[in-house]
Amino acid sequence: MKRALKMHLISGNDLKTFLLHRTAFLCVSRFLRLASFGTVNALMIVISVTFQPLFSVIPEILHKFVLMKQHLLILLFLLACPAHLIAAARTEKQAETLSAPDSIRISLLTCAAGEEIYSLFGHTAIRYENYTRGIDAVFNYGIFNFNAPNFILRFALGETDYQLGVADYGRFAAEYHYLERDVWQQELNLTPQEKEKLIALLEENYRPENRVYRYNFFYDNCATRPRDLIEKSIDGTLRYAGNMTDTDTGTSFRDLLHKYTQGHPWSRFGMDLCMGSRADKPISRRQMMFVPFNVQAYFDQARIADKEGKERPLVLNEEKIIETGSGEAEQPSGGFTPMHAALLLFILTATATLYGIRRKKTLWGIDLALFLVAGIAGCILAFLALFSQHPAVSPNYLLFVFHPLHLFCLPCMLNSVRKRRRSRYMKANLVVLTLFILLWAVISQRFPLSVLPLALCLLIRSASNAATAR
């Protein structure tokens, strides 16, 4: 029977008509995803036999119907289509959307430490890949201009402005290959909606009026900004493995500074001088995330809990995408450390002081050099403690050793020393330094051990004044 029907349709003069009907119905049905090719063929055979008298007028009507604009075509068809077919079309379309492969991938990049002081702690960035649009970009919150006017002064004041930059991944990878810094990639397990939200947040941040931000080393930097944006984009709750707010970690800001400045003793020494007692207070795990490697570690263990209570890992997979072969073994050695320099200075100062006492000489030139340098260092520390917006720089009890009075009182003090008279300033300084050394262990601030020989140098020179004065 099927064969007879086919022969009836194709043997007459209506072959072109039948093909036009089938093409029109196929275009309409496939555009709306309502039927397959085989279904249209079968439907056309039944229509051709059942409604044969109408075939003389249908071609022209169908031809015009197909040439109409898409929105009018859809409207007319939906008005004539049964409700269950519309529902079936929607279900089929949703199923195809869900089953389609995701063309967007968003990852967290963690970069190894560099040689410069600002890169010793690594770096964090967000990689955005869109395979459909051919986009592979890196969003970087660590852009700054070292040659900007008054950069050093603004940095000391805590008024350094960083900005969000966007670069092609190829350029980013080439730069880190050249710098011999490894890069790890963590693909984030985000839903399409969460990815869209995160991309929208990044685009909003990249607007000219939003891309610049006030940098804060501990609380608002290249690692905390990506973390905050990712947390904000999640439709649910991000749960870390441990308690992120308790400060029972036994770790301080200074501990982390020491950890990531291994092999760079002079950088560590400079940071220790600038950091005050607040840097020695225990901090929470969330505060530890100012270090990019801590963000990487905590993200690896984190899970996303949606509104229905279902959990999924935040990180789908992790891989090292840039491997240069450099590692811990290639870090620079200590060499001539601040401790070596402090001990050498102490030995020279003690030897010269003993020589001066025996020869009844003041050796005021040594006092000039030591107290001048100590006074300049004291001015820097006092400036940071009083005026800087940097956290953890105040109070700084090293001001008992290095303070501006060394500089301001230097002329009067030298005048007394040269005339071999007892200096009240030297006497007061002797008392203060003695108390500082005796109370070293109980002061609520960890000092670099190299400070002790330096303090002893100033103490010895203060005591020598009493020994050489008339």
Interatomic CA distance for residues 161 and 269, integer angstroms: 25
* Tens digits of residue pLDDT in 81-119: 444 433 444 444 444 433 334 689 999 999 999 988 889
- Residue 437's Cα: distance from chain center in Å? 40
Which residues make Cβ contacts (< 8 Å) with residue 199, sequence separation at least 6? 104, 106, 128
How many alpha carbons fall within 13 Å on the CB side of residue 252? Answer: 17
Interatomic CA distance for residues 175 and 265, integer angstroms: 27
* Tens digits of residue pLDDT in 262-312: 989 999 999 999 999 999 999 999 999 999 999 999 999 999 998 888 999
* Tens digits of residue pLDDT in 301-345: 999 998 888 999 999 999 999 998 875 545 555 589 999 999 999
| pLDDT category of residue 400 using cuts at 50, 70 and 90 | very high
Q: What type of residue sits at position 228?
A: D
pLDDT for residue 102 = 67
**Total residue length of the chain:** 470
| pLDDT category of residue 65 using cuts at 50, 70 and 90 | very low
Mean pLDDT in the chain? 83
How many C-beta atoms lie closer than 10 Å to residue 457's C-beta? 22
CATH T-level topology, domain 104-246+284-330: endopeptidase fold (from Nostoc punctiforme) (3.90.1720)
pLDDT for residue 87 = 44
| pLDDT category of residue 39 using cuts at 50, 70 and 90 | low
pLDDT for residue 446 = 96
* Tens digits of residue pLDDT in 228-247: 999 999 999 999 998 999 99
pTM of the model: 0.75
Residue ranges of the chain assigned to CATH 3.90.1720: 104-246+284-330
Distances (CA, A) of 359 to 352, 370, 413, 419: 10, 21, 21, 15
